[in-house]
């Protein structure tokens, strides 16, 4: 299946309660051949209105971070753990995240990224439940992830958390700067 077909199906999803309150589904955006896949938590107000991921202030900062390593949105793929906005930006409920999971799994299967960058602790915990973001950020780790096989994860803080925190901002910039080198290392291994 192609991403476009998957997006079309996603836009009709009624698998959880969030379908009742969303304005638009936010499937994700970017290149279907991206080497890097960024995964946020879920759409906020702006994303819900536009149907596009990371279009608010955190998205602007994400673009800046990408620019610092010479990447544009078109080069990467960006998705969220849940594709519909939880009302008032509350955390997604476990049953909502569970209902949405097959979409993300299929996106990863189609894109086959070289690395997955979970943004923030909620996204990280979906992939590596025991991981604590303050200990795992900026480190690549390879993990068998059923049914997708071996995946390389490179957790980072969420850009929204760094918006008003100068030291987190510096950490996020430093972590992003490691991404090209990690891809290089993975390519050498292949
Ligand atoms: N925060 C997220 O985690 N995802 C978005 O799409 C926007 C903000």
Cβ–Cβ < 8 Å for 14, 54: no
pTM value > 0.85: yes
Looking at the predicted structure, is the pLDDT value of residue 1 above 90? Answer: no
Q: DSSP label at 117?
A: E
Average of per-residue pLDDT across 91-108: 96
Q: Helices (H) and strands (E) in the chain — how many of each?
A: 10, 6
DSSP labels, 143-157: EEETTTEEEEE--B-
- Annotated domain spans of the chain: 3-182
Instruction: State the closest ligand 1 atom to the C-alpha of 119, by its place in the atom list counted from 1.
Output: 3
Distant-in-sequence contacts of 55-62, Cβ < 8 A, 24+ apart: 57/160, 57/163, 58/158, 58/159, 58/160, 58/163, 59/159, 61/159, 61/160, 61/162, 61/163, 62/38, 62/119, 62/159
Ligand 1, atom 7: nearest CA belongs to which residue? Answer: 54
Token pair recorded at residue 36 = 């890097």
**Cβ of 48 less than 6 Å from ligand 1:** no
Looking at the predicted structure, is the pLDDT value of residue 190 above 90? Answer: no
Give residue-wise pLDDT tens across range 63-97. Answer: 999 999 999 999 999 999 999 999 998 999 999 99
Which among 114, 122, 46 is positioned nearest to 80, based on CA atoms? Answer: 122
Tell me the CA–centroid distance for residue 127 and ligand 1, in Å.
Answer: 17
Instruction: State the closest ligand 1 atom to the C-alpha of 55, by its place in the atom list counted from 1.
Output: 7
Helix (H) or strand (E) holding 19: helix 18-21
Token pair recorded at residue 26 = 């936010």
Instruction: State the closest ligand 1 atom to the C-alpha of 58, by its place in the atom list counted from 1.
Output: 8
Classified by CATH at the fold level, domain 3-182 comes out as Uracil-DNA Glycosylase, subunit E (3.40.470)
Average of per-residue pLDDT across 143-171: 95
Give residue-wise pLDDT tens across range 7-53. Answer: 999 999 999 999 999 999 999 999 999 999 999 999 999 999 999 99
């Amino acid at each position: 299946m192609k991403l476009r077909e998957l997006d079309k199906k996603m836009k009709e999803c009624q698998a959880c309660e969030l379908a009742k309150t969303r304005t638009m589904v936010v499937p994700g955006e970017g290149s279907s051949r991206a080497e890097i896949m960024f995964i946020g938590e879920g759409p906020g107000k702006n994303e819900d209105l536009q149907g596009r991921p990371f279009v608010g202030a955190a998205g602007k900062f994400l673009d800046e971070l990408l620019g610092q390593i010479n990447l544009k949105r078109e080069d990467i793929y960006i998705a969220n753990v849940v594709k519909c906005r939880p009302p008032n930006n509350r955390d997604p409920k476990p049953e909502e995240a569970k209902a949405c999971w097959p979409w993300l799994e299929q996106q990863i299967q189609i894109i086959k990224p070289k690395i997955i960058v979970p943004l923030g602790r909620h996204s990280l915990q979906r992939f590596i439940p025991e991981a604590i973001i303050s200990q795992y950020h900026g480190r690549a780790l390879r993990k068998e992830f059923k049914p997708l096989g071996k995946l390389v994860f490179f957790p980072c803080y969420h850009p929204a958390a760094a918006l008003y925190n100068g030291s987190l901002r510096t950490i996020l910039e430093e972590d992003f700067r490691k991404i090209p080198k990690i891809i290089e290392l993975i390519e050498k291994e292949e």
